[in-house]
């Protein structure tokens, strides 16, 4: 799989892997599974949006934030693999956390921002199990956080 070619075809650029904002590592490999720590929608070193969905952050902005979270997670995978995507097998699971108002029930639609990107970019290898969960707050006031579990060869 040539991830760079596919990114270019989709008009996307893989960002530099974000640095942790607390005391943890970006990824841990155990056996053939790679666990990617929760990623915030960081773009050029700052959050794309701050606040709860939908009162402070629109559904569409939250979907774009989830997409950015997934791109950041892919950047960590790229770093972990030292650019050798031949070791990548598939995305196993995606966890999406949405900081939202109490009556908001569209977490799956927010999560689609990440899921659709992974499917478009990786094809069948990007299809995954998923959880989309509403939460009261996320680090730094982010509206979305995305974590991945990835199978490697």
Q: How confident is the model at residue 108 (pLDDT cuts 50, 70, 90)?
A: very high
Q: What does residue 94 show for φ and ψ, rounded to 5 degrees?
A: -125, 130
* Predicted confidence (pLDDT) at residue 2 exceeds the cutoff of 90: no
What pTM was computed for the model?
A: 0.97
As a whole number, mean pLDDT of residues 55-64 equals: 98
> Alpha helices of the chain — where are they, by DSSP H?
3-9, 59-80, 107-122
Residues contacting residue 107 through CB under 8 Å, at least 6 positions apart:
96, 98, 100, 132, 133, 134
Q: How confident is the model at residue 22 (pLDDT cuts 50, 70, 90)?
A: confident
Listed residue (24, 22, 55, 21) closest to 41, CA to CA: 21
- How far apart CA 4 and CA 43 sit, in angstroms, is 19
- pLDDT tens, 92-102? 999 999 999 99
High-pLDDT (> 90) share of the chain, %: 95
**C-alpha 55 chain-centroid distance:** 22
As a whole number, mean pLDDT of residues 54-67 equals: 98
* Predicted confidence (pLDDT) at residue 1 exceeds the cutoff of 70: no
């Amino acid at each position: 799989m040539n991830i760079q070619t596919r990114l270019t075809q989709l008009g996307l650029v893989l960002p530099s892997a974000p640095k942790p904002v607390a005391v943890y590592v970006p990824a841990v490999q155990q056996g053939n599974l790679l666990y990617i720590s929760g990623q915030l929608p960081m773009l050029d070193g700052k959050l794309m949006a701050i606040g709860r969905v939908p009162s402070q952050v629109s559904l569409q902005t939250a979907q774009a934030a989830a997409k950015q979270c997934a791109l950041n997670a892919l950047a960590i995978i790229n770093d972990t693999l030292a650019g050798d995507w031949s070791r990548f097998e598939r995305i196993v699971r995606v966890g999406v956390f949405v900081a939202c108002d109490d009556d908001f029930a569209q977490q799956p639609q927010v999560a689609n921002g990440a899921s659709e990107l992974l499917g478009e970019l990786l094809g069948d290898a990007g299809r995954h199990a998923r959880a989309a969960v509403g939460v009261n707050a996320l680090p730094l006031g982010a509206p979305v956080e995305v974590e991945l579990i990835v199978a490697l060869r």
